[in-house]
A = this chain, B = another copy of it.
Amino acid sequence: MDSSIKKKRPRGRLSREMIEDAAFEVIEREGLAGFSMRKLAAELGCEAMSIYHHFPSQAHLHEALVDRLVGSLEMPDAGLPWRQRMRIAMHDFRRIGSEHPAFAPFLVTYRMNSPTCLAWLSGILGLFEAGGFGPELSARLFRTVGYYLMGAILDETSGYAKGPSAVTAVSDEQLALDFPNVAAAGRYFGAAEFDRTFDLGLDMLLDEMERALGGANSR
């Protein structure tokens, strides 16, 4: 008898969508580094090479995953005030990161050149422009909030709060002795504080942007 764990599956049943779904599962279960075509195949109940019939390489597959996530985003209702739209768009992107924490580092490191990603990028730029910023400021402010957003996702999914790294660890007692202010700050570095901290920084940036926008009429 076949003691293989793989489930039997008829041929001709693989699709890009199925593969992507399984890839998300394997990545979240095994971690981004633990992901492999063979493990993905096992999850799908097929052989590794079958996947190459649908994706020419692992890199293509990973980029398809980014497209899948970014493509699921839609621009906030144009009827809402500028600041609210920006807040929603930022929270939306942050959400697709936190929903796939193991994949998030790839998401934020990925160069967004696919049509899907460019469309999202274009939408956000348009949001700045609709808010009243010129092309240059729109571009630079997009970068500014983008930097903040990417850094936040990175930290929230794989940063300090996720525990010590694999190799060198400092015990809590030692930490409290050597770096008491870090130990104290740790209270605010945990996952429970992510939302509040994220909003604090985001609101600081949006405040400053609104100030730049309506300098004349807000004072």
Contact = CB atoms under 8 A, between A and B. Distances in A.
Contacts of A136: 188
Interface residues of A, number: 71
Contact of A168 (B113, B135, B170, B184): B113
A154 interface: yes
Contact of A165 (B110, B143, B144, B207): B110
Contacts of A151: 108, 146-152, 154
A208 interface: yes
Given A63-B165, A139-B185, 4 more contacts: A105-B109, A111-B162, A113-B170, A121-B182
Interface residues of A: mostly helix, strand, loop or mixed? helix
A114 to B, nearest CB: 4
Contact of A207 (B163, B168, B179, B208): B208
Interface stretch (A6-14, A23-31, A81-89, A197-205): A197-205
A158 B118 CA distance: 17
A197 B140 contact: yes
A99 interface: no
A148 B151 CA distance: 6
Interface string A51-84: 0000011011001000000000000000000000
